[in-house]
Copies of this chain bind each other. A is one copy, B any other.
């Protein structure tokens, strides 16, 4: 039997559509860039704003300090001890918006074009968090109650590695005790195709600094006799992969187990179109680790990526400088059973081994998080499948996710409850790039799917 969206809640969503959108836009206008200390006041303001929104929805709101940006907690426990308790997790911080000149409309001025809300944080994760808040509000306004007890936990450090959330979850383990964790911070496989996540990749994020001469030198007067840190950095980076696209850092794959053959078969059965994916990314060609499909490369295989490079003179024209230093931001996406700290040690040891004489290389930890793999059985997943089908009129598929939500592993370890990741983003949404967007339809249907889910638990 197929479930359907409860009509009383649907009516509420239709009647309040414009107000809900305006509220979301207010939230999106706050540049809560957690990575940038100059935005600390904005990030604090986003937490305050969200606490207010929790109150409006009928949740008891509390802002709880951490050593970094605060956690905003919203609770409603009126369903009673016999009913399940659900923990909803999301984040109110966003990625930096640079380069600003590549945005079609300003990053922090939400604009609707072609059925999409364009703004930094629209899909990652303010829009996806806010649809949960409004789904709760619908139940409490229309019916005066929810069928489950709810705790909404919103953090402000997801984009910088959730460094304080593990401690927070462990310290508040009793208060956060629950029967299910629900997270919407990922994407659907395709437009109209709801999706449940079976895995997340983990992350080790490092900065690699190569230092040579004590100051920039004239490349003519010194060049040839002094090792160039930019050249040395390039030579170090070039050892990170072999000719087949495999990470060539010794030990990197030692703990990587083959993917479950059943999951791998389901992945291979998905109607994935390399040509469409290529057109979407706009690169001359796709390439990666030999022997794997594109979906396996992003969902099931670990990587080592350069996220940034900086050295010497980078302005207009020519400057004949032998730079004194060179920097790379390096991140490894990890699969289950790879320990972020162990990978960091392997990277450090490898860099030490391959650094040419004449320069010093320094590896600095920026952040890390474990990968995660779901157990896709049990009533939570069954209910989610029904709720998604009710809203989207299509059964969900099981997908992987190449990105990281480091706190999922913390929840799994500290709370022991099953974790459901159902996201409402879409391919091409530019989550960490200029022109980030969220589909208006997915916001609307996602809100309805979540509201329906509570009735099915």
- Chain A interface residues toward B at CB < 8 A: 35-37, 95-96, 98-99, 102, 159-161, 187, 201, 203, 205, 212-228, 230-231, 233-235, 237-238, 240-241, 277, 281-289, 294, 297-298, 301-303, 305-324, 326-329, 331, 333, 356-360, 366-367, 401-404, 430-435
Chain B residues with CB under 8 A of A366: 317-318
A328 to B309, CA, bound (A): 10
A333 to B320, CA, bound (A): 10
On whether the beta carbons of A323 and B298 are closer than 8 Å, the reply is no
Chain B residues with CB under 8 A of A230: 237, 306-309, 328
Asked if A310 meets B318 with Cβ closer than 8 Å, knowing A225-B286, A358-B286, the reply is: no
Chain B residues with CB under 8 A of A205: 318, 320
Chain B residues with CB under 8 A of A323: 306-308
A434 to B215, CA, bound (A): 8
- Shortest CB-to-CB span from A347 to chain B, Å, is 14
Asked if A309 meets B309 with Cβ closer than 8 Å, knowing A220-B404, A357-B284, A433-B321, the reply is: yes
A228 to B98, CA, bound (A): 19
Given A35-B317, A307-B313, 4 other A-B residues pairs in contact with their CB atoms under 8 A? A217-B281, A222-B281, A284-B358, A314-B327
Question: Which 5 interchain pairs have the tightest Cβ spacing?
Answer: A214-B282, A220-B403, A238-B238, A234-B237, A230-B306
On whether the beta carbons of B282 and A215 are closer than 8 Å, the reply is yes
Chain B residues with CB under 8 A of A356: 287
Chain B residues with CB under 8 A of A402: 220-224
Asked if A432 meets B216 with Cβ closer than 8 Å, knowing A234-B237, A359-B284, the reply is: yes
Contact among B35, B301, B326 with A318 in the assembled complex (CB-CB below 8 Å)? B35
On whether the beta carbons of A329 and B319 are closer than 8 Å, the reply is yes
On whether the beta carbons of B284 and A307 are closer than 8 Å, the reply is no
On whether the beta carbons of B226 and A237 are closer than 8 Å, the reply is no
On whether the beta carbons of A318 and B160 are closer than 8 Å, the reply is yes
Contact among B95, B285, B329, B333 with A312 in the assembled complex (CB-CB below 8 Å)? B329
Between A298, A308, A309, A432, the greatest number of chain B beta carbons within 10 A of the residue's beta carbon is seen for A309
On whether the beta carbons of B358 and A283 are closer than 8 Å, the reply is yes
